[in-house]
């Protein structure tokens, strides 16, 4: 099996997927691990020159790769030059180069940053550019002549290249993002991951404390950093509403590439933490993407059944409306605890402002002291006919 991690910067791997990759290799001996970094890293320091910063960060990532047992690749264009930080979206050679490397490495799973659904979410331009690029080239991975002007192919019959399953990693720049599909318990290898991150000394001890965007302190030794690493990971999970002592890495499954089955993911992913994963919701989404008939699903971690005609993936007014009906009006036997969990999942997935707007739009009515008053608050308003 082959895993490929694609991201923007030297050190992104260690903060999002290194523990999962290490556990994957232990659970599936022979797994090949590749890390592809898409920028030159030249902007990531406040005191060094661009040239000195790029050279130092490259060495740090190479050291982490040697220590972590993965292959490290720096993406370069057809001209042999790396791509500048903050300029990926303006680099015409970026998509062809990424396409070429994915085809060359031919992974079974590709991990990359997410695209934020919330327009209010913060982003790092390089993370966003990599996410959008992976999504853009995914369909073209097995299109052998997509970028042959830049990367001429050998003569003869083109070789079939399988399209990987594409997984989104956590991205700290999004702050409060969508709840994860899968959570991996990396506690047994947390110190190993912290040690790999420690290789990026220019970032942990100099640049990141100076830029002051992540609440990081400059530790003087690796033991102090290991403690800080666990604190940072716990803070990240708390932001997602996940509590506990475990150190977790979290992921979302996309339909950008090959759509897997839930059984496949549960078989392949190591050390899945069921209490922080959303197996039923994910399974329903995967079945829908695969064109299978809808089946009863579970909303988040509650025991409440989603109506069969609802889009389990959420994301539209119809989904919000149906789930709010469950919270406010039924079905019979629906306990207060179940209603609370459905509402908590709604707030987590769609955000407070959107849910409040939906409630006010669909359910809030003028106070009525008549005999129908109690019924009026649990019946949504009739939908207005759409204009023709």
Whole-number mean pLDDT of the chain?
85
User: For the residues 323-348, what does the mean pLDDT come to?
Assistant: 64
110-119, 301-310, 356-365: segment of lowest average pLDDT: 301-310
Q: What percent of the chain has pLDDT over 90?
A: 65
- Residues spanned by CATH 3.40.50.10320 within the chain? 2-268
Write down the pLDDT at residue 320: 72
* Cα torsion through 147, 152, 156, 162, rounded to 10: -40
Higher pLDDT, 10 or 366: 10
pLDDT of the residue at 355: 77
Dist CA 248 CA 230 (whole Å)? 10
Looking at residue 344, what is its pLDDT? Answer: 72
Q: Which CATH class is domain 2-268?
A: alpha beta
pLDDT band at 306 (very low <50, low <70, confident <90, very high): very low
What percentage of the chain exceeds 70 in pLDDT? 78
Average pLDDT over residues 316-337: 61
Categorize the per-residue pLDDT at 187 as very low, low, confident or very high, splitting at 50, 70 and 90.
very high
Taking the C-alpha atoms of residue 365 and residue 386, their distance in angstroms, rounded to an integer, is 22
pLDDT at 179: 83
pLDDT confidence band for 285 (50 / 70 / 90): very high
Query: What confidence tier does 353 reach under pLDDT thresholds 50, 70, 90?
Result: confident
**pLDDT > 50? residue 310:** no
Query: Which has more confidence, 240 or 63?
Result: 63
The confidence band for 366, taking pLDDT boundaries of 50, 70 and 90, is very low
Higher per-residue pLDDT: 328 or 124 = 124
**Nearest CA among 254, 264, 252, 259 for reference residue 28:** 264
pLDDT of residue 201 exceeding 70: yes
pLDDT of residue 156: 82
Give the residue among 78, 103, 84, 2 at the shortest CA–CA distance from 44. 84
Q: What is the pLDDT of residues 219-274, one digit of tens each?
A: 989 999 999 999 999 999 988 888 889 999 999 999 999 999 999 999 999 999 99
Label each residue of the chain as H, E or C. Answer: CEEEEEECCCCCCCCCCHHHHHHHHHHCCCCEEEEEECCCCCCCCCCCCHHHHHHHHHHHHHHHHHHHCCEEEECECCCCCECCCCCHHHCCCHHHHHHHHHHHHCCCEEEECCCCCCCCCCCCHHHHHHHHHHHHHHHHHHCCCCCCCCCCCCCCCCCCCCCCEEEEECCHHHCCCCCCCEEEECHHHHHHHHHHHHCCHHHHHHHHHHHCCCCCCCCCCHHHHHHHHHHHHHHHHHHCCCCCCCCEEEEEECCCCCCCCHHHHHHHCCCECCCCCCHHHHHHHHHHHCCCCCCCCECCCCCCECCCCCCCCCCCHHHHHHHHHHHHHCCCCCCHHHHHHHHHHHHHHHCHHHHHHHHHHHCCCCCCCCCCHHHHCCCCCCCCCCCC
pLDDT for 385 equals 55
pTM for the model stands at 0.77
Of 50-54, 295-299, 318-322, highest mean pLDDT: 50-54
Residue 372's pLDDT is 47
The larger pLDDT score, comparing residue 356 to residue 233, is at 233
pLDDT tens per residue, range 126-161: 999 999 999 999 999 999 999 999 999 877 889 999
């Amino acid at each position: 099996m082959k895993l490929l991690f694609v991201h923007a910067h030297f050190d992104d791997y260690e903060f999002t997927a290194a523990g999962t990759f290490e556990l994957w290799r232990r659970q599936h001996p022979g797994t090949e691990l590749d890390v592809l970094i898409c920028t030159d890293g030249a902007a990531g320091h406040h005191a060094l020159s661009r040239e000195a910063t790029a050279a130092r960060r490259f060495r740090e990532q190479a050291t982490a790769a040697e220590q972590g047992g993965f292959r490290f690749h720096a993406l370069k264009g057809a001209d042999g030059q790396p791509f500048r930080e903050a300029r990926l979206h303006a680099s015409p050679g970026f998509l062809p180069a990424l396409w070429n490397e994915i085809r060359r490495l031919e992974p079974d799973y590709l991990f990359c940053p997410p695209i934020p659904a919330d327009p209010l979410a913060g982003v790092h331009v390089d993370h966003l550019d990599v996410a959008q690029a992976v999504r853009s080239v995914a369909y073209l991975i097995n299109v052998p002549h997509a970028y042959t002007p830049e990367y001429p192919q050998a003569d003869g019959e083109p070789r079939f290249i399988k399209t990987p399953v594409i997984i989104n990693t956590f991205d700290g720049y999004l702050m409060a993002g969508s709840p994860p599909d899968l959570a991996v318990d990396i506690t047994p290898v947390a110190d190993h991951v912290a040690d790999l991150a420690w290789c990026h000394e220019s970032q942990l001890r100099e640049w990141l404390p100076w830029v002051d965007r992540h609440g990081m302190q400059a530790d003087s030794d690796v033991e102090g950093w290991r403690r800080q690493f666990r604190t940072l990971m716990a803070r990240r999970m708390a932001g997602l509403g996940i509590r506990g002592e475990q150190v977790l890495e979290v992921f979302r499954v996309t339909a950008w590439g090959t759509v897997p089955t839930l059984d496949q993911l549960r078989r392949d992913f190591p050390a899945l933490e069921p209490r922080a994963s959303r197996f039923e919701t994910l399974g329903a989404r995967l079945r829908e993407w695969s064109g299978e008939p809808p089946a009863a699903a579970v909303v988040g971690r509650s025991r409440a059944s989603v109506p069969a005609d609802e889009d389990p993936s959420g994301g539209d007014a119809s989904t919000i409306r149906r789930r709010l009906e469950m919270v406010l009006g039924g079905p019979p036997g629906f306990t207060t605890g179940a209603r609370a969990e459905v509402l908590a999942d709604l707030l987590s997935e769609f955000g407070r402002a959107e849910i409040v707007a939906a409630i006010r739009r669909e359910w809030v009515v003028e106070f009525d002291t008549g005999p129908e008053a109690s019924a009026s608050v649990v019946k949504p308003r009739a939908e207005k006919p759409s204009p023709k």
